[in-house]
Structure 1
């Protein structure tokens, strides 16, 4: 799935996953800031949870991508 999405955006799967990781980091930090400052704790909580879900999704897809690369290498 990551390969198809990367092809649609005209980039490599690794770059797409790194962009997702950066987006997850922003969501986590903004959500944490909103919760800790008390300005919008409900919105901050939702953003933080979305960041956690995105982080897990990126991690799983990075592992799948790496396993696929490893499986394609010829054994010596």
Structure 2
């Protein structure tokens, strides 16, 4: 089954069910402890993702510099 057909077939029921779920949750009372717990978890996850992103960026940058130096070294060695 193609993705387009699946979206056409299942999008409306999922949207209706999701809307009903969200409206049921939105009408419930939210306590401050739950909000604080969610906020703390989100901030912790964002910090972890940020640190991982910087680590990946550092590895990619160092590999780029390393391969550039290796290419220069090989080119100079080939020229004699």
Same fold (TM over 0.5): no
TM-score, scaled to structure 2: 0.41
Q: Quick check: which has more Rg, 1 or 2?
A: 2
TM-score, scaled to structure 1: 0.43
